[in-house]
């Protein structure tokens, strides 16, 4: 009897928590988007300083410093917008996840600090990559308004409607 009441209470709590999941998905996306957006704002505010940093402090592999500075600025101003609105969310979060790794690898001064913030951002991005954007996103709205075509091959039918 007491066990059944505990299970029922747990199920009620789980139900309400699942209702809050879209809000947490949105908050995760907004939090990480804000971090990268602010970094892009700092870079674009003084491109000469940004270029200097890429020439002398950041060691981006395979890309010369000046193009790397402009590329990093563009990434930090563009991808957070996609992430915040939930547009191509998994791809955007995946790209920023890789970008975050490259940022840590390119700036050795972070290694001595333990790069804690970057770890947290990476985990938040990974959650978004694995879990998806959630219901409060443009991606979810597109799926609701423009459903994917029926996959005929998935149900044993060929395109002509005959069995395979």
Predicted confidence (pLDDT) at residue 1 exceeds the cutoff of 90: no
- Give the model's confidence band at 164: pLDDT under 50 very low, under 70 low, under 90 confident, else very high: very low
Q: Considering only CA atoms, which of 39, 30, 38 is closest in space to residue 85?
A: 30
Q: How far apart are CA 92 and CA 98, in angstroms?
A: 10
Q: Do 54 and 66 meet the contact criterion of CB atoms below 8 Å apart?
A: yes
DSSP labels for 55-102? Answer: HHT---TTS-HHHHHHHHHHHHHHHHHHHHHTSSHHHHHHHHHHHHHH
User: How many C-beta atoms lie closer than 10 Å to residue 10's C-beta?
Assistant: 10
The pLDDT score that the predictor gives to residue 115 is 82
The pLDDT score that the predictor gives to residue 154 is 52
The pLDDT score that the predictor gives to residue 135 is 94
Could you tell me the residue ranges of all domains in the chain? Answer: 21-146
- Tell me the Ramachandran region of residue 86: left when phi exceeds 0, alpha when psi lies from -120 to 50, beta otherwise: left
Structure-token pair, residue 88? 């191509």
pTM: 0.81
Q: What angle do CA 54, 57, 58 make, to 5 degrees?
A: 55
Least confident of 1-10, 15-24, 29-38, 64-73: 1-10
Summarize the confidence of residues 114-130 as an average pLDDT.
94
The pLDDT score that the predictor gives to residue 152 is 52
């Amino acid at each position: 009897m007491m066990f059944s009441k505990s299970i029922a209470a747990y199920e009620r709590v789980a139900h309400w928590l699942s209702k809050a999941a879209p809000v947490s998905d949105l908050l995760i996306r907004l939090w990480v988007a804000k971090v990268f957006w602010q970094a892009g704002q700092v870079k674009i505010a003084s491109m000469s300083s940004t270029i200097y940093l890429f020439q002398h402090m950041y060691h981006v592999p395979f890309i010369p410093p000046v193009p790397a500075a402009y590329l990093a600025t563009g990434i930090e101003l563009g991808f957070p917008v996609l992430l915040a609105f939930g547009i191509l969310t998994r791809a955007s979060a995946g790209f920023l996840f890789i970008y975050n790794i490259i940022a840590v690898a390119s700036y050795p001064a972070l290694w001595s600090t333990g790069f804690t913030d970057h770890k947290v951002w990476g985990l938040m991005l990974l959650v978004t990559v694995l879990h998806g954007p959630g219901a409060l996103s443009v991606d979810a709205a597109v799926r609701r308004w423009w459903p994917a075509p029926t996959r005929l091959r998935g149900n044993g039918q060929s395109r002509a409607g005959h069995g395979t």
